[in-house]
Chain A
Amino acid sequence: MPLLTTACPRNCYSTCTMRVEVEKGRLRRIEPCPDNRATPEGVCLKGLSYAERVVSPDRLLRPLRRRKRSGSFEPVSWEAALDEIAGTLARLREGPGPRSVLYYTGSGTKGLLNGLGTSFWRLYGGCTTTYGDLCWPAGLEATRLTLGENKHSAPWDLVHARLIVLWGKNAAETNVHQMAFVEEALSRGARLVVVDPRRTETAERAELLLQPRPGTDGALALAVARRLVELDALDRPFLETHVLGFPEFRESLREWTPERAAAVCELPARSIERLAELLAGTRPATICAGFGMQRYTNAGQAMRAILALLVLTGNIGRPGAGWQFANLQSHVFEPVRDPVASFPPERPDGVLRMSVSTARLGRDMLETRDPELRMIWVERGNPVTQNPETNTVLEAFRRLDFRVAVDQFLTDTAREADLVLPAKTFLEQSDVINAYWHPYIQLKRKVLDPPGEVKPESEIYTLLARRLGFPEEAVAETFPAPGEAGVEAWLERRLAAVPGLSLDRLEEGPVLPPGHQEVAFSDLAFPTPSGKIELLSAEAARRWGVDALPGYREPEESARSSRLAARYPLTLMTPNTKNRIHSQFNNLKMIRDLSPAPFVAMHPEDAERRGIAPGDRVRLFNDRGELTLPARFDLGLRPGCLAVTNGWWASEGGAVNVCSLGRETDMGHGAAFHEVLVQAERAT
């Protein structure tokens, strides 16, 4: 059987290239594709589980309609489903107006065809959309303000690092392919430090693990920066030529003694010293910052402080050195890149109303007026459990007149919908995808036919457009013609805008974008207002109201700052796991075998204080909601912290966002939903 090259477009660092063997219309085998230098070995377990996912008996193969009375679902024909949607849309356009429709997209899959949704709603006359993002905007904005652009060196450059700091990143679970480069660097004698309140799989490779109180990374970084100044570990020529605001920053560090940071972070001062000594004495150094710590109210400022450590030591623009956060070099199709693309526009175009904060989805939906929201269309996302404040999101959902969800499975969000439309998997329609860790642009080739009555979103939108009587010319121009040939022609038109790109070229394998920098910023060009690296950012102060310098402020909801702490003294961490991408994959037998059921990880110290033994059911609660889960002891967890991996379904009893609060990060319109205080008690 021939092997076909395709690529995984899911929301993940690795964005693997893979070769697949299809036998009698079924995915038989998946093999690695070494053409992608970042993922030359095999795909991860989620990628492999597609063999089950595409043919899972739970997969939705027909449109479903929820029965009003019982709440159960019955299959309906596409005709009936589309007629109902088109009828509702036509009515709403007349009545309260097109902006009574909220178009909500998650980050489920990458691809140029994703843009068709917005095109549809523009033709419809507009809609309401969200701004911001659940994931990473704080760090994107911190990086943009400091370096001018979100890019980093190629993943394989990491092997040249002599010091690697994985700061809040558990690559072994969330970016397993990076671990091959970490291992290679370590085998060449590099040092590894991990900063994480949990002793993760990644931390097993580290000589030093700093376990700060969650949300205090900024204080840790500032104290390390102060020590770097004291140790005179500065790259002075670099600072003088390429950096704006060093003298002011140095001045601001005076107060950040290791002892003060030790008290704030609840870490031994000696550990802070050791990190500073390693950074001072080991070059080149790369810091890889993770996404979990983006989700705090002080995250942007913390990220600026961490990035400053590399700036002080001249670890920018050199092989083996640098800041690995988001590598958007492959994002060549967007006129404006993230995070700015996800900010509400300064001058709204009068068609799309970008007014609902992703972070505050539930409350903003409830508070939207002129017009109020009446309908929601959800695709590529599962906001009911994945956005903060599940109970408020549910309330907002239930107050709407009409809900449509496009999904492959009956997720917690789909269960709330009136109509559920069956979605394709990535193997069932071609598209062109970018990545955010490696720099490749790839063809995600169609290798399977959609099963059952599944239609790709492009076709759904085209059928709706016709029903709503959009001008035929606009429809033909906007949407691909039905079938694979139409999609290819559509993609070819988009590719033509980028020099050197074509489907033929992409069919050969992953392609580097024009102007790719293997070592990011090796030209020492920084597209900031000053043209320098900005430790002092006037824009930060103007746009976000934070200090122009990196700084530390206690998180809003922490054991020290919040009045909640008296009643809810424990911090609930909700990290990602290797077994899922957020709320996906755990419904498959292949994955469930590795991760059978949710549990709460506790340090025995916290557990014993509450009379909790391993296996006991524990009630986690605060004013917003509660979860009851079996306890498992984790001796490597920071005492005072609990951990439940996020993405369990409400039906599994593990929807962690029942306890979180919708609020934004200090910059970038991210969601600060990792600041969650709870209490735990043995469930009776």
Chain B
Amino acid sequence: MSRAFLLDLNACTGCGACRLACTLENGLPWGTSWRQIFTFNEGRHPAAPSFHLSMACNHCAQAPCIEQCPALAIRREGAGGEVLLDPGRCIGCGCCGWACPYDAPLYDEEAGVMGKCTFCSPRLAEGREPACVSLCPTGALRSGEIEEIGGVERAEGFPPRPARPSLRFLPLREGRSEPETGLHSASAPDSLPPAAEPPPPGAGLATEWPLAVFTLAAAALVSWLTASLGGAVPMHAPTFLASAALALGVSALHLGRKERAWRALLNLRRSWLSREIALFSLFVGLAAIHLLLAPRSVALAHAASAVGFAALFAIDRVYDLAISRRPVPLHSADVLLTGLLLTGYLLADLWLAGPAALLALALYVQRRTRGAGEGGRAQERRTVIRLGAGFLLPALLWIARPPLWWECGLLALAVGVIVDRCELYLEIDLPSPRRELAAALERRLRSAPASAGTSSATSSPSW
């Protein structure tokens, strides 16, 4: 027994009444809603029809939000298998939003927690339809048992379905394609600029800077501790521990409910975020014991270092969600890579620093040539800094070894690494219906032969 939504793609006009019905029913802040409308071919390209996907939470059978929530705030409850988010347990980390391919969980600024569609379970309990279904002016939305509701699983531009969403479609009527106008020739896609503005970035540096600070600090601290074991660099326990505590504190800044930060540890079984926090905390704990209580315990120091690198690995896995489109699951700004590079540099160990630097360089070049990021002047400037400070300058200094070469090289390296890490946040590319719809339109336009036959207007006006 599981409940599903059915959307009639013919009947939906994208009017937005379902959005407002949701706002009202759930007492959400005006101007926000748990239901969203995504439009296919909003710019009305002449070679494709336009239609809307009205979507709330699809109450997936294999909900990635449940898996990824570090605070165990999302559960499957209710008679219809509704996936419900408990605002009392949510820490406002946004992981569920990163995990959901449908952008269903949304951040509530006022409450500092995520919120999402409940399938109107209180209404269902009263035997009433969800508000969005009940109030759709054209009757385009329905709900019912998934086995009985009918419809099809796929719609053009609907994200892939590994999560098994409880959403079905009545597809576009046979023969409903773009209207014949005889006025616009269905030109090849490249000859026409995109009609819609580019989608807003999923998350940016402006909101996620605490994460950038925390992850870079983690890489630096793990490298520092590791390099200090061989005596290559001095250890200063108060500075180290204060920095570690500060890093943990900063990481909590991005939570909507900082006082519940401890809940981030609850989902060790499935959430990389929980593991990241747990491992990093363990690293700091072991390092603290080592530095304060057992400075001579080499085993303890090595254990702390190993746990630290494991924490860096866990951090990178969290970002697998956010940088979803890449040919290899590696990024030049991965903190594990950064940690290895820094450690190698601090140890002046070419066999560690060299390969790490070359791998980072290769990944960076590959990203740039693939066109990740927003483009433009600012990005060009960053690229120059990243390559110059992060790779070229340290390499030259290493070879030439002028006075203070090691310190200058470290500084340059740090600048390069910071720029790279910041770019990662600018490039956050979450799976979303908007992205899928744009990609689907592009696929359709590329596969459609440019139809040459359509005639243009009989006389050309003189504008």
Chain A positions within 8 Å of B, measured between CB atoms, are 28-32, 39, 41-45, 48-49, 51-52, 172-173, 176-177, 179-180, 183, 186-187, 194, 199, 201, 203-211, 213, 259, 262-263, 266-271, 559, 569-570, 578-579, 588-590, 592-594, 604, 606, 608-609, 613-615, 632-640
Distance from B136 Cβ to chain A, minimum over Cβ atoms (Å): 6
Partner of B184, one of A32, A187, A635: A635
Total residue contacts A-B, CB cutoff 8 A: 188
Interface-lining segment among B8-16, B248-256, B267-275, B290-298:
B8-16
Interchain CB contact under 8 A, B463 and A42? no
Distance from B304 Cβ to chain A, minimum over Cβ atoms (Å): 49
Q: How far is the CA of A1 from the CA of B306 in the complex (A)?
A: 62
Q: How far is the CA of A210 from the CA of B21 in the complex (A)?
A: 35
Interchain CB contact under 8 A, A45 and B182? no
Q: What are the residues of chain B within 8 A of A172 when measuring CB–CB? A: 13, 15
Interchain CB contact under 8 A, B182 and A270? yes
Q: How far is the CA of A683 from the CA of B183 in the complex (A)?
A: 29
Q: Does B19 contact A (CB under 8 A)?
A: yes
Q: How far is the CA of A419 from the CA of B19 in the complex (A)?
A: 37
Q: What are the residues of chain B within 8 A of A205 when measuring CB–CB? A: 10, 176
Given the known inter-chain contacts A176-B137, A194-B179, A211-B183, please indicate yes or no for A635 contacting B43, CB distance below 8 A: yes
Interchain CB contact under 8 A, B462 and A48? no
Interchain CB contact under 8 A, B182 and A604? no
* Nearest A-chain residue to B25, judged by Cβ: A29
Interchain CB contact under 8 A, B182 and A268? yes
Q: Does B24 contact A (CB under 8 A)?
A: yes
Q: How far is the CA of A183 from the CA of B46 in the complex (A)?
A: 22
Given the known inter-chain contacts A30-B24, A176-B15, A268-B183, please indicate yes or no for A43 contacting B135, CB distance below 8 A: yes
Partner of A569, one of B192, B193, B194, B462: B462
Partner of B31, one of A29, A204, A592: A592
Distance from B245 Cβ to chain A, minimum over Cβ atoms (Å): 41
Mark B186-218 against chain A: 1 for CB-CB distance below 8 A, else 0. 000000111111000000000000000000000
* Nearest B-chain residue to A170, judged by Cβ: B13
Interchain CB contact under 8 A, A30 and B135? yes
Beyond the given pairs A41-B138, A208-B180, 15 more chain A to chain B contacts, judged by CB atoms under 8 angstroms and listed by A's residue number, are A32-B134, A52-B30, A176-B13, A176-B17, A186-B10, A199-B179, A204-B179, A207-B175, A269-B458, A590-B23, A593-B32, A604-B192, A604-B195, A633-B196, A635-B45
Q: How far is the CA of A261 from the CA of B454 in the complex (A)?
A: 19
Q: What are the residues of chain B within 8 A of A43 when measuring CB–CB? A: 17, 135, 137
Q: What are the residues of chain A within 8 A of B369 when measuring CB–CB? A: none
Interchain CB contact under 8 A, A271 and B16? no
What does DSSP make chain A's interface, helix, strand, loop or mixed?
Answer: mixed
Interchain CB contact under 8 A, B13 and A594? no
Partner of A44, one of B15, B457, B458: B15
Partner of B24, one of A51, A270, A635, A637: A51
Q: How far is the CA of A183 from the CA of B176 in the complex (A)?
A: 12
Partner of B13, one of A179, A199, A634: A179
Q: What are the residues of chain B within 8 A of A609 when measuring CB–CB? A: 463
Distance from B61 Cβ to chain A, minimum over Cβ atoms (Å): 29
Given the known inter-chain contacts A268-B182, A594-B16, please indicate yes or no for A176 contacting B138, CB distance below 8 A: yes
Q: How far is the CA of A49 from the CA of B182 in the complex (A)?
A: 39
* Nearest A-chain residue to B51, judged by Cβ: A204
Q: How far is the CA of A33 from the CA of B398 in the complex (A)?
A: 79
Given the known inter-chain contacts A207-B179, A633-B193, please indicate yes or no for A263 contacting B461, CB distance below 8 A: no
Q: How far is the CA of A676 from the CA of B196 in the complex (A)?
A: 26
Distance from B383 Cβ to chain A, minimum over Cβ atoms (Å): 24
Q: Does B144 contact A (CB under 8 A)?
A: no
> Of residues B29, B32, B179, B181, which shows the largest number of chain A Cβ atoms within 10 Å of its Cβ?
B179
Given the known inter-chain contacts A204-B49, A209-B179, A590-B30, please indicate yes or no for A578 contacting B458, CB distance below 8 A: no
Q: What are the residues of chain A within 8 A of B377 when measuring CB–CB? A: none
Q: How far is the CA of A589 from the CA of B110 in the complex (A)?
A: 15
Q: What are the residues of chain A within 8 A of B239 when measuring CB–CB? A: none
Partner of B463, one of A206, A259, A606, A635: A606
Partner of B193, one of A262, A559, A588, A604: A604
